[in-house]
Amino acid sequence: MKAVFGDRARLQGMLDFEAGLARAQSALSVIPADAAPAIAAQADASLYDMADIGRKAVLGGNLAIPLVKALTERVDGDAKRYVHWGATSQDVIDTGLMLQIREGLSLLEDDLTALADACAMLADAHRATPMVGRSFMQHGLPMPFGLKAAGWLEAAHNAITRLARLRKETLALQFGGAVGTLASLGEDGARVRDRLASDLDLHAPATPWFTLRDRLVEITSALGITAGLMNKIAGDIVLMMQTEVGEVFEPAAPGKGGSSTMPHKRNPVGAATARGAALQAQARAAAMFTTMDQQHERAVGGWQAEWGLVPELFVLTAASIAPLASALAGLEVDAERMRANLEITGGLVFAEAAMMKLAPDIGRMEAHHVVEAACKTAIAEKRHLRDVLGEDETVAARLDSAALEALFEPMGYVGSSATFIDRALAAWAAFTKKA
């Protein structure tokens, strides 16, 4: 991702715009036919001194000014007169950025696909691995670990779909000349614009969008959402790797996850890296909203702020996905510890199951009262809830010992979990097959 948004790629995107513009204008006889190949032959970023262009951009105010000058100097003969014909700096910079974004989105989709595949593997392998579902950081009810992984899978699937849609629908050519009228091209402006959009495989909006940045902010918002999802998934892993929990572990490797002072530690370094990058990405995504306040037809400040924010946002979003995908692909799941953690409350996580079993006979409110009282007794006397319920006359009259024992089987009270896992896996399988 750093390469996609690096100096050379930035110049190459701008040069691709200039070459495409010359081809479009040549095809429409706006400039001589032999001008296009002469210009395109020099549209190679490796031909230019990036450091020199960078220094000169400080005086010019943007990269396009020194780049166009350097390109013009390299083009031979009369063709040099037609470099950048009818365009303005923002046309070059914005369109070049759109070309970079297209490649960047594809990279993110690839990384998210690897992450989703890892989640699908976990969901399928652990559809019958019971663990405790937590509510407000407290033990709630039993659930299969596969359902948690299926939730991660669906989130990743949604992120891929979102980015793919934006890549196909939102990337747009910027070409409007000085203030969006293309007056320098006379009546040929709209035709050239449409031809150029086709050449670069970008959408041609009805009007130039110099200071209307909704397209760009929609893309960066999607990256912020993606980074937020990575933060959540990585956060789950961090919490499950706590010593007191110990339900999953990132894959071990020499030198990975250790401490400089505590030899026994196994740190969640992949999740930590993902979270650190995600938090920074989300901050930049939020900052992009502030850049939308752009004045009249060409902006001062907001547009320039994007130049750093967008590349950094793409790099940081990628950095939130890659280490997490690696961690999930080799995630070690301790099913025995998950089962043991279910038992640390002495059966209290099965209180709802007991209540719902009694409710048809005595009503939900009465069942809630009976089980709640039993829970209080179990806590006070440090006894298992099953044993306390077995001594209650109301319960004993309706549930024999076998029925009571069955209530405390974790996979016996997971509702539609299997269906939910199957649906997430089926949707992902259909998506990958179609792709």
Helix ranges (H only) for 241-334 are 269-290, 302-329
Q: Name the nearest CA neighbour of 205 among 175, 178, 179.
A: 175
Q: Three-state SS string across 77-141, please?
A: HHHHHHCCCCCCHHHHHHHHHHHHHHHHHHHHHHHHHHHHHHHHHHHHHCCCCEEEEEECCEEEE
Phi, psi of 251 (to 5 degrees): -60, 140
Sign of CA dihedral 76, 81, 86, 90: positive
| Residue with the two structure tokens 């960047």 | 104
User: Amino acid letter at 346?
Assistant: G
Token pair, residue 299, equals 């902006």
> Of the listed 184, 259, 401, 416, which one is catalytic?
259
The rounded distance, in Å, linking the Cα atoms of 176 and 76 is 27
Query: Of these residues, 74, 191, 266, 298, which one is catalytic?
Result: 298
Query: Which residue in 238, 210, 260 sits closest to 97, CA to CA?
Result: 210
Burial 186-200 (b: 16+ CB within 10 A, else e): eebbebbbebbbebb
Residue 248: its H or E element: strand 248-249
259 is catalytic: yes
For 293, counting Cβ atoms within 10 Å of its Cβ (0-12 exposed, 13-18 middle, 19+ buried), the class is: exposed
Question: Rounded to an integer, what distance in angstroms lies between the CA atom of residue 59 and that of residue 55?
Answer: 8
Q: Is 339 a catalytic residue?
A: no
Pair 312, 102: CB distance under 8 Å: no
Give the active site residues: 259, 298
